[in-house]
Chains A and B, each alone.
Chain A
Amino acid sequence: MNDQTMTPQERAAGLKGMGTSRKRVEDVRFTQGKGNYVDDIKMDGMLFGDFVRSPYAHARVTSINAEEALKVPGVAAVITAKDLEPLGLHWMPTLAGDKQMVLADGKVLFQGQEVAFVIGTDRYAVADGVAAVEVDYEELPVVTDPFKALEPDAPVLREDLAGQTEGAHGPRRHHNHIFTWEVGDKDATEKVLAEADVVAEEMVYYHRTHPVPLETCGCVASMDKVTGKLTVWGTFQAPHAVRTVASLISGIAEHNIRIISPDIGGGFGNKVGVYPGYICSIVASIVTGKPVKWVENRMDNLMSTAFARDYWMKGRISAAKDGKITGLWCHTTADHGGFDACADPTKFPAGFMSICTGSYDIPVAYLGVDGVYTNKAPGGVAYRCSFRVTEAAYFIERMIEVLAIKLGMDAAELRRINFIKPDQFPYQSALGWEYDSGDYHTAWDKALNAVGYADLRAEQAQRLEDFKAGKTRKLIGIGLTHFTEIVGAGPVKNCDILGLGMFDSCEIRIHPTGSAIARLGTISQGQGHATTFAQIIASEIGIPADDITLEEGDTDTAPYGLGTYGSRSTPVAGAATAMAARKIRAKAQMIAAYLLEVHDDDVEFDVDRFAVKGAPERFKTMKEIAFASYNQAIPGLEPGLEAVSYYDPPNMTFPFGAYICVMEFDVDTGEHEVRSFYALDDCGTRINPMIIEGQVHGGATEGYAIAMGQEIAYDQMGNHKTATLMDFFVPTAWETPSYTTDHTVTPSPHHPIGAKGVGESPNVGSVPCFSNAVHDAFRPFGLMQSHMPHDQWRIWKIANDLGLHG
């Protein structure tokens, strides 16, 4: 390393630091089947657990008879709410300030709800046991429509809340009402709308869907009766928060609980919440003294853990004749299912829906959200989303299109004249956010040029003429989206979950020989943290990324953090990583100065070393400094070289992007083809371009699924109609389009390395992009708004309703 013949650029390249498409260190294990996911964990004497679930969406549970089940060979026990009640664990608190039944306590509120937990020696015995439990139900009237749920004579769902007029987020005005949340200036907005030249009004529905990671949720709970220590391995996106919650609700001291997230097979928000399976496994392990494994199957997953979206967004947007937007009004009816188990920061019961002014300079706005109970599964999780940002982006990007129709304007031009201008940043939005940085015009122009926008519109117009002349039955739709995200939750002053501030952390220890280990409060679920966070450290302190081990997910060893969701790992833990590295660099500077016998200020950092200013041949490498920190008594300095940072971000970050897709639709069959999809993302400083592009491909594919077919659907009886992968659309390689990725770089001014986060951008941006393409194709025939998912039948129906089938 003392080689002076290498240029600084060559030395930097050897570090594989920030900006490098470094190959992933995780992949050597994963490609040969050596990952360690929760279902891979096997312990001596381990028992299995599984649920008896409700076939009804709303019913009284009049009796549960486990007699026959207990006769099944291998079945060890059957747990019901009555067994949990003495422990106070028959209900559990939700992340949203509500409470949820762990096991049916007198009634059930959704189909698939957990009624009893059967434990046995293997999963086959348990399946037999589950089938043998006899439960008697008395059916109750079902309500699956959130608007009907608010009618005066609607069935009472939450009898436990009888007489409670005050909820976790303010007054409740009806027995099925959860909260009202309001932001912005209602009176001023309504005044602007009343006086506007043009007003567009639409109901925009973002349907219920599900994150559906390929690995379902599960855990192994193991209570060691000798030490009194409870260890739980599980699919936890926020292991530390799970530890604190587990301690608070079980009464077990927090130091006696160890939560471990092993490898996680995709999360996408599904694995943020606490589910009955975790509680029942823990109780079962305590009772039996044996480890207990619970892993849900796919049907359990789609029916009971973590739906997403289900927002009915009524919007009004006003503009002057020239297209300049003057105001935005939105009222959302949010269907939360039987319990409010949304995973939002406490002060934001509708998450960051208030980012719904999007990329536009809108002087006045109002947002009101009403949360409603229905006979559907609880959840409301952020499916690859920073707490309802996907809903907000879909809403504003649809409203812009509708406004463009009202104005008779091109939707690309309407966006451009309303973008927040570069010199307006930091920008104060009408709904209370301070956007950190952006250059929307540059991104938009780059995108329009890249796709050849003018030519595309000409081709589309020609196709329309051909269609009208009977020469073709296919229409072209051009989908436009410019989204602004809000991620990186978040500043402790206004972001917490159950009172836990949403900071994050990193601890770095440099070993004597100059390699290192870093531990973070986050947990990767495929994002490649072990690869990218090492790159940040490599650039900050000059140790090769290949010499840095990265660990997450074990609460006994990792510093406290709030976990990975909401694109918060890079904005928050990534910042903590840089800050911890800078603490180490500061100490290294003092050590180097001592070794070089100069003043601290007389040395400067140079890629992988500190050199004397003006005399670059006099230097100490980080390896030399590391060794010195362990073997020399340096006056005024403690031995060792390590640091920890708990980073409380001063603000959120605001990534943005410009997406454009071209689709063709067969008017007679409703079939579609994605001809091209161009995704420009600006996530600030780019740490690993390869991984960023991979995130965009994956997120856009999730968006494609959501927009074009993926749906959690119920019938009027509350029967779940999409509980298998036969009915719930997950695209294969055959349907999935290819993506062209592009970028601009507008660093975040308040983030130590300028990074903003990217994981969720493609899901946020692609859904309106695909949906707008569908609407755009049928715009000439008068289509204003048609709800997602735009599956084949629904597109056929659009054409049919517009009279295009002759």
Chain B
Amino acid sequence: MTKMHVKLNVNGADVEGQAEPRTLLIHFLRETLGITGPHIGCETSHCGACTVDMNGKSVKSCTVFVGQANGAEITTVEGLVNDDGSLGVIQEMFREHHGLQCGFCTPGMITRAHRLLQENPNPTEDEVRFGISGNLCRCTGYQNIVKAIMAAAAQMNASKEAAE
């Protein structure tokens, strides 16, 4: 099959490669670019393990063709660490509050939480639960994930206030 030339900006870096037009974004990220944070859990958009941020929106990269993402700015969980390589605040709160067990849903969950808190910096517990309902977790029962996201929101708001 003829291949197309694809250019993306992933986690702040310009990248390019060749891909069949039918290639899914998740496969391009994982197999061509070697960015294996986002995972594949269902291939039908239900589980959210493949969630990445595309042009400021959460997308499930198992149902986005790489051609649709051509030219897009993509952020994956790898891009959410601080500049010094330490864990970003959401990542740190997931660790602090035991918001993960097997870790397989975690990259998608954290990437989704990142976008949720951009959209709604002061979510209620219900808003967090609704906001991550496109991401399935089989281990935690979500209780500590919700706790971690609420704690991350509080921290992000506190540091925003301190900066102002």
Hey, which bits of chain A sit against chain B, CB under 8 A? 23-24, 26-35, 37, 39-40, 42, 73, 122-124, 212-216, 263-266, 268, 295, 297-298, 525-528, 690-691, 693-694, 697-702, 724-726, 730, 732-734, 736, 738-739
B49 smallest CB distance to A (angstroms): 6
Contact between chains at B142 and A526 (CB < 8 Å): no
Q: Please indicate the chain A residues that have their CB under 8 angstroms from the CB of B107 in the complex.
A: 33
In the assembly, what is the distance between CA of A468 and CA of B12, in Å?
A: 64
Which residue of the partner chain B has the closest CB to A702?
Answer: B138
Q: Which of A35, A122, A697, A725 contacts B46 (CB 8 A)?
A: A725
Contact between chains at B141 and A32 (CB < 8 Å): no
Q: Please indicate the chain A residues that have their CB under 8 angstroms from the CB of B146 in the complex.
A: 733
Is B133 interfacial (CB 8 A cutoff)? Answer: yes
Contact between chains at A33 and B46 (CB < 8 Å): no
Known: A23-B98, A33-B76, A214-B39. 12 other contacts (CB 8 A): A32-B37, A32-B77, A37-B39, A40-B36, A42-B34, A214-B105, A214-B139, A215-B102, A298-B44, A732-B134, A736-B143, A739-B143
Which residue of the partner chain B has the closest CB to A696?
Answer: B141
Q: Which of B43, B110, B130, B141 contacts A31 (CB 8 A)?
A: B110
In the assembly, what is the distance between CA of A792 and CA of B100, in Å?
A: 30
| CB 8 Å contact bits of B96-133 with A (1 = contact, 0 = none) | 10101111111100100000000000000000111011
In the assembly, what is the distance between CA of A216 and CA of B134, in Å?
A: 19
Q: Which of B92, B98, B105, B143 contacts A691 (CB 8 A)?
A: B98
Is B23 interfacial (CB 8 A cutoff)? Answer: yes
In the assembly, what is the distance between CA of A528 and CA of B141, in Å?
A: 16
Q: Which of B20, B78, B105, B134 contacts A32 (CB 8 A)?
A: B78
Is B81 interfacial (CB 8 A cutoff)? Answer: yes
In the assembly, what is the distance between CA of A33 and CA of B79, in Å?
A: 9
Is B140 interfacial (CB 8 A cutoff)? Answer: yes
Is B95 interfacial (CB 8 A cutoff)? Answer: yes
Which residue of the partner chain B has the closest CB to A40?
Answer: B36
Contact between chains at A27 and B81 (CB < 8 Å): no
Q: Please indicate the chain B residues that have their CB under 8 angstroms from the CB of A31 in the complex.
A: 77, 87, 91-92, 94-95, 100, 103, 106, 110
Contact between chains at B136 and A214 (CB < 8 Å): yes
Which residue of the partner chain A has the closest CB to B38?
Answer: A33
A20 smallest CB distance to B (angstroms): 13
Q: Please indicate the chain A residues that have their CB under 8 angstroms from the CB of B139 in the complex.
A: 214, 266, 526, 694, 698
A152 smallest CB distance to B (angstroms): 43
Is B47 interfacial (CB 8 A cutoff)? Answer: yes
Is B71 interfacial (CB 8 A cutoff)? Answer: no
CB within 8 Å for A33 and B42 given contacts A265-B104, A701-B141: no
CB within 8 Å for A35 and B104 given contacts A214-B41, A701-B141: yes
Which residue of the partner chain A has the closest CB to B49?
Answer: A214
Is B59 interfacial (CB 8 A cutoff)? Answer: no
Q: Please indicate the chain B residues that have their CB under 8 angstroms from the CB of A724 in the complex.
A: 42, 44, 46
Contact between chains at A694 and B27 (CB < 8 Å): no
Q: Which of A122, A124, A212 contacts B138 (CB 8 A)?
A: A212
CB within 8 Å for A733 and B22 given contacts A32-B78, A266-B138, A724-B42: no
Contact between chains at B95 and A27 (CB < 8 Å): yes
CB within 8 Å for A28 and B95 given contacts A37-B104, A732-B133, A733-B133: yes
In the assembly, what is the distance between CA of A27 and CA of B92, in Å?
A: 9
CB within 8 Å for A214 and B43 given contacts A27-B100, A35-B103, A697-B140: no
Is B25 interfacial (CB 8 A cutoff)? Answer: no
Q: Which of B36, B76, B103, B144 contacts A694 (CB 8 A)?
A: B144
In the assembly, what is the distance between CA of A28 and CA of B92, in Å?
A: 8
Is B153 interfacial (CB 8 A cutoff)? Answer: no
Contact between chains at A27 and B40 (CB < 8 Å): no
Contact between chains at A698 and B101 (CB < 8 Å): yes
Contact between chains at A733 and B100 (CB < 8 Å): no
Is B74 interfacial (CB 8 A cutoff)? Answer: no
B54 smallest CB distance to A (angstroms): 16
CB within 8 Å for A725 and B141 given contacts A33-B38, A39-B39, A123-B27: no
16 A-B pairs with C-beta separation under 8 A: A31-B94, A32-B77, A32-B78, A32-B80, A32-B91, A33-B36, A33-B77, A39-B39, A39-B40, A124-B22, A266-B102, A694-B140, A697-B143, A698-B140, A725-B42, A734-B130
Q: Which of A33, A528, A732 contacts B101 (CB 8 A)?
A: A528
Is B31 interfacial (CB 8 A cutoff)? Answer: yes
Q: Please indicate the chain B residues that have their CB under 8 angstroms from the CB of A34 in the complex.
A: 37, 78
In the assembly, what is the distance between CA of A700 and CA of B141, in Å?
A: 7
Interface centre among B36, B133, B143 (most CB of A within 10 A): B143
Q: State the main secondary structure of chain A at its contact with B.
A: loop
Contact between chains at B95 and A23 (CB < 8 Å): yes
Contact between chains at A298 and B41 (CB < 8 Å): yes
Q: Please indicate the chain B residues that have their CB under 8 angstroms from the CB of A694 in the complex.
A: 98, 101, 139-140, 144
Is B137 interfacial (CB 8 A cutoff)? Answer: yes
In the assembly, what is the distance between CA of A352 and CA of B129, in Å?
A: 37
Contact between chains at A732 and B136 (CB < 8 Å): yes
In the assembly, what is the distance between CA of A215 and CA of B76, in Å?
A: 18
In the assembly, what is the distance between CA of A265 and CA of B102, in Å?
A: 5
Q: Which of A30, A42, A295 contacts B103 (CB 8 A)?
A: A30
Which residue of the partner chain A has the closest CB to B132?
Answer: A733
Contact between chains at B22 and A23 (CB < 8 Å): no
Interface centre among B38, B77, B78, B102 (most CB of A within 10 A): B102
Q: Which of A266, A526, A690, A697 contacts B141 (CB 8 A)?
A: A697
Contact between chains at A526 and B102 (CB < 8 Å): yes
Interface centre among B42, B44, B87 (most CB of A within 10 A): B42
Contact between chains at B39 and A265 (CB < 8 Å): yes
Contact between chains at A124 and B20 (CB < 8 Å): yes
A470 smallest CB distance to B (angstroms): 31
Is B150 interfacial (CB 8 A cutoff)? Answer: no
In the assembly, what is the distance between CA of A662 and CA of B136, in Å?
A: 25
Q: Please indicate the chain A residues that have their CB under 8 angstroms from the CB of B6 in the complex.
A: none
In the assembly, what is the distance between CA of A693 and CA of B143, in Å?
A: 10
Is B10 interfacial (CB 8 A cutoff)? Answer: no
Q: Please indicate the chain B residues that have their CB under 8 angstroms from the CB of A297 in the complex.
A: 42-43
In the assembly, what is the distance between CA of A27 and CA of B144, in Å?
A: 14
A-B complex: 5 closest residue pairs judged by Cβ atoms: A33-B37, A265-B104, A526-B102, A30-B103, A697-B141
Q: Please indicate the chain A residues that have their CB under 8 angstroms from the CB of B43 in the complex.
A: 297-298
Interface centre among A23, A528, A734 (most CB of B within 10 A): A734
Contact between chains at B87 and A32 (CB < 8 Å): yes
A91 smallest CB distance to B (angstroms): 30
Which residue of the partner chain A has the closest CB to B96?
Answer: A23
In the assembly, what is the distance between CA of A306 and CA of B26, in Å?
A: 27
Interface centre among B20, B27, B91, B145 (most CB of A within 10 A): B91
In the assembly, what is the distance between CA of A533 and CA of B57, in Å?
A: 40
Contact between chains at B102 and A264 (CB < 8 Å): yes
Q: Please indicate the chain A residues that have their CB under 8 angstroms from the CB of B40 in the complex.
A: 39, 295
Q: Please indicate the chain B residues that have their CB under 8 angstroms from the CB of A528 in the complex.
A: 101
Q: Which of B34, B104, B143 contacts A214 (CB 8 A)?
A: B104
Contact between chains at B31 and A42 (CB < 8 Å): yes
| CB 8 Å contact bits of B58-101 with A (1 = contact, 0 = none) | 00000000000000000011101100000100011011101011
Contact between chains at B144 and A697 (CB < 8 Å): yes
B100 smallest CB distance to A (angstroms): 6
Contact between chains at A733 and B103 (CB < 8 Å): no
Q: Please indicate the chain B residues that have their CB under 8 angstroms from the CB of A216 in the complex.
A: 41
Contact between chains at B91 and A265 (CB < 8 Å): no
In the assembly, what is the distance between CA of A782 and CA of B116, in Å?
A: 47
